[in-house]
């Protein structure tokens, strides 16, 4: 077994807390994955071995290393080992189209890819080092320069290496409005501030048992993993076959902390797995990514009566989370006339404001764009200085002075009690025959009328830049078109009622579980050709 170095290791390295617990509580559970439990000591032995290989191959550190090994031991060993060796990780989802993956790999400038066998099959023609982290004698990929002797001869790296707070911790790609994925590079300091703020807010303990439902390519996974290992708790990876219905997994693993998009509530409710008190071990349930409907929050609360439920808001550009609104079964936690929860109050690591179109700060009650500042705001977009300059301006704040902000593109307001409310995307406020319409408001009324949580409304068609009408996609509803129109006519003006409704068994979802609006829009554009 690898002997960990007991001298003081650099605390700036994000793997430091894991290392610290591997020394102080080596037999405690760190990870459950693929049907097996791994103690801190057992996982550390795997991590130090892979970190040693990375350090020997790339002694300079500070490089981007890809990981294509979702929901497997290889994924979590790789992630820790990359950080341990002083590098940054780039998560790669093998479910993505190959051309999209290739774009991410090229743009991120990864020097090496750690992959398990299923993930590696897409990478055979890449001219990069590719190998399986937990099977060192099996180099993968035609471009790999690792050999059996090279890997076997390397000594384990017994402690994390020193890094600066400004060094990149991970690079994640989000969809871009131009069709090209945008890379967001979070620093070690960004993540450290985020973890300190979530610990302050949620008071997590070593006895907690965390879900790992979110893909590594989605920033909520940062909370799943590093908030758990920060306090010496355990991470429990939801197996792929149970992703659609994880209720049994939650009970069997006695999870106390759950984090996902609201889609998990919808899926479990459709399968009638959210019976009263059916999730008794949960004490904290966080939901992010889409608006959390009041009815969904109440359904989860009934199933998990001991759990605090919080609606979390935060873009990838702000390290994933910056505000939260607890569910209280009162109208105080809701956004008026929307049917969903407010996004709440800011974490201690950031400031949130509302700005107008000239980036002037607005008082409570005024509607504008949500802006975020603080040490969790990332440096910007990878290798995209012009895009970064537009989205991350320096503004003169009345109290903070000259401060760097991230303009989210989300429309919202702050109420007189200090809670923030999400009112839609900046590009989702349209004009139809000179009348202003917020698409989220139309979706709210359709959800209420159809009893469906799967609704997506588009300005369609658009001719010469002018909206001609509205079209709504509705998933999983049994209501007929005439009945829906009658109901909507009693709830909102006729000009807000979509001209066309399309009923589907379910709406498509992207890798993060959100309604895939890009896929729906692409379908409309294809039909229009």
231: in domain:
yes
84: in domain:
yes
406 & 458 share domain = no
Q: How far is CA 204 from CA 49, 59, 86, 261, in A?
A: 30, 36, 27, 20
53: in domain:
yes
382 & 495 share domain = no
8: in domain:
no
347 & 478 share domain = no
Could you tell me the residue range of the domain that residue 263 belongs to? 189-423
100 & 195 share domain = no
Query: Phi then psi for 226, rounded to 5 degrees?
Result: -80, -25
265 & 387 share domain = yes
∠ CA 464-443-95, nearest 5°, is 80
257 & 156 share domain = no
Cα separation, 225 vs 234, in Å, equals 9
CATH number for the domain including 136?
3.40.50.980
Q: Last residue of a domain, which of 163, 181, 214?
A: 163
143 & 212 share domain = no
∠ CA 321-119-28, nearest 5°, is 60
172: in domain:
no
pLDDT per residue rounded down to tens, the chain (529 residues): 466 765 555 578 999 999 999 999 999 999 999 999 999 999 999 999 999 999 999 999 999 999 998 899 999 999 999 999 999 999 998 877 777 788 889 999 999 999 886 555 566 666 677 777 776 545 545 545 444 455 566 799 999 999 999 999 999 997 644 446 789 999 999 999 999 999 999 999 999 999 999 999 999 999 999 999 999 999 999 999 999 999 999 999 999 999 999 989 989 998 999 999 999 999 999 999 888 999 999 999 999 999 999 999 999 999 989 999 999 999 999 999 888 999 999 999 999 999 999 999 999 999 999 999 999 999 999 999 999 999 999 999 999 999 999 999 999 999 999 999 999 888 777 767 756 687 888 998 899 999 998 999 999 988 756 688 899 999 999 899 999 999 998 887 788 899 999 999 999 998 778 899 999 999 998 888 7
252 & 202 share domain = yes
316: in domain:
yes
Please compute, for residue 15, the number of CA atoms within 13 A of its CA located in the half-sphere on the CB side. Answer: 32
Q: Which residues on neighbouring strands pair with residue 372, listed in sequence order?
A: 352, 406
CATH number for the domain including 302?
3.40.50.12780
| Residue 471 preceded by cis peptide, ω within 30 | no
SS3 392: coil
CATH number for the domain including 458?
3.30.300.30
Cβ 464 vs Cβ 457: under 8 Å: no
3: in domain:
no
**DSSP 8-state code for residue 526:** H
Q: Say how many domains are in the chain.
A: 3
463 & 407 share domain = no
∠ CA 348-349-350, nearest 5°, is 95
281 & 389 share domain = yes
**DSSP 8-state code for residue 334:** B
81: in domain:
yes
The secondary structure of 211-235 as a DSSP string is EE-S-TTSTHHHIIIIIHHHHT-EE
What would you measure as the largest C-alpha separation in the chain, in angstroms?
75
Q: Last residue of a domain, which of 423, 445, 467?
A: 423
Cα separation, 393 vs 524, in Å, equals 35
Q: For residue 379, give the nearest of 200, 214, 112, 191 by alpha carbon.
A: 191
388 & 483 share domain = no
348 & 319 share domain = yes
Cα separation, 186 vs 223, in Å, equals 14
Cα separation, 65 vs 111, in Å, equals 6
Cα separation, 75 vs 79, in Å, equals 6
pTM of the predicted protein model: 0.84
Q: Last residue of a domain, which of 423, 455, 475?
A: 423
């Amino acid at each position: 077994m690898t002997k960990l170095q007991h001298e003081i290791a650099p605390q700036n390295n994000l793997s430091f807390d894991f290392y610290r617990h591997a020394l102080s509580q080596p037999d405690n559970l760190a990870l459950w994955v693929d049907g097996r439990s791994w103690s801190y000591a057992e996982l550390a032995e795997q991590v130090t071995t892979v970190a040693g290989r990375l350090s020997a191959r790339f002694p300079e550190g500070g490089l981007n290393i890809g990981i294509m090994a979702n929901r497997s031991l290889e994924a979590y060993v790789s992630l820790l080992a990359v950080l341990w060796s002083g590098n940054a990780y780039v998560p790669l989802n093998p479910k993505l189209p190959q051309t999209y993956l290739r774009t991410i790999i090229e743009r991120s400038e990864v020097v090496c890819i750690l992959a398990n066998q299923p993930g590696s099959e897409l990478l055979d023609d890449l001219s990069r080092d590719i190998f399986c982290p937990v099977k060192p004698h099996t180099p993968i990929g035609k471009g790999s320069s690792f050999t059996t002797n090279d890997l076997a001869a390397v000594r384990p790296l017994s402690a994390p290496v020193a890094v600066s707070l400004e060094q990149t911790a991970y690079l994640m790609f989000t969809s871009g409005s131009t069709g090209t994925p945008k890379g967001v590079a979070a620093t070690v300091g960004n993540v450290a501030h985020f973890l300190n703020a979530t610990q302050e807010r949620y008071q997590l303990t070593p006895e907690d048992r965390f879900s790992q439902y979110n893909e590594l390519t989605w920033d909520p996974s940062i909370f799943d993993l590093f908030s758990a290992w920060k306090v010496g708790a355990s991470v429990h990876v939801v197996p792929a076959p149970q992703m659609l219905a994880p209720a049994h997994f939650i009970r069997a693993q006695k999870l106390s902390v759950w984090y996902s998009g609201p889609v998990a509530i919808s899926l479990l409710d459709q399968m009638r797995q959210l019976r009263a008190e059916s999730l008794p071990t949960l004490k904290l349930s966080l939901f992010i990514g889409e608006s959390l409907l009041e009815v969904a929050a109440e359904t989860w609360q009934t199933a998990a009566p001991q759990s605090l439920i919080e609606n979390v808001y935060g873009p990838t550009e702000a390290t994933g989370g910056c505000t939260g609104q607890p569910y209280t079964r009162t109208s105080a936690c809701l956004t008026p006339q929307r049917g969903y929860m407010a996004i709440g109050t800011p974490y201690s690591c950031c400031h949130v404001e509302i700005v107008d179109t000239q980036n002037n700060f607005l008082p409570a009650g005024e509607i504008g764009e949500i802006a975020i500042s603080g040490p969790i705001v990332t440096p910007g977009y990878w290798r995209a200085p012009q895009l970064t300059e537009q989205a991350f301006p320096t503004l003169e704040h009345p109290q903070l002075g000259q401060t760097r902000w991230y303009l989210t593109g989300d429309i919202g307001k702050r109420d007189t009690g200090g809670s923030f409310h999400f009112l839609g995307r900046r590009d989702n406020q349209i004009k139809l025959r000179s009348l202003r319409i917020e698409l989220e408001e139309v979706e709210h009324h359709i959800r209420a009328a159809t009893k469906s949580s799967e609704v997506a409304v588009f300005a369609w068609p658009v001719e010469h830049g002018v909206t001609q009408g509205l079209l709504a996609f509705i998933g999983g509803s049994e209501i007929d078109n005439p009945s829906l129109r009658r109901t909507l006519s009693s709830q909102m003006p006729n000009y807000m009622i979509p001209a066309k409704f399309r009923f589907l068994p379910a709406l498509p979802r992207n890798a993060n579980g959100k309604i895939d609006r890009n896929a729906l829009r692409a379908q409309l554009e294809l039909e229009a050709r």
